Amino acid sequence: MPTEPYDIAQFLHLNLKSLNPTNVGALIGDIDEFAGQIRKHFIGGINFANLEIDEAMRVLLKKFTLPG
C-alpha cells in the first residue's frame, strides 16, 4: 500500500472500480493536512478539459460519495 499522498491518489484512481465510494470520500474528505494533499493530487489527476462546470462536477462526484 502506498504511503505518499501522490501515490495514494494514483492508487485510488487506478482502483476506483473495486473501492467503496463512501470510503474514498471519507479519505479525501478528511480535514487533516495529509488528506488535503491526497485530495489535491486526486482532483488534480482528473481531466476536466473542455467540460462545462456542471459536467466537471458530475465527473468528479461519480468517483466518490460525499461524506456526511
Q: Locate 31 and state its grid cell.
A: 480535514
Asked, for residue 66, whether it belongs to a domain, the answer is no
Note the residue count of the chain: 68
Asked, for residue 50, whether it belongs to a domain, the answer is yes
Asked, for residue 26, whether it belongs to a domain, the answer is yes
Asked, for residue 67, whether it belongs to a domain, the answer is no
pTM of the model: 0.90
pLDDT tens profile 12-61: 999 999 999 999 999 999 999 999 999 999 999 999 999 999 999 999 99
Handedness of CA 24, 33, 9, 44 (dihedral sign): positive
- What is the per-residue pLDDT for 31? 93
Residue 56 burial (C-beta neighbours within 10 Å; 0-12, 13-18, 19+): middle
Which region holds residue 22: left if phi is over 0, alpha if psi is between -120 and 50, else beta? alpha
Q: What's the domain count of the chain?
A: 1
Distance CA 48, CA 18 (A): 23
- What is the per-residue pLDDT for 43? 97
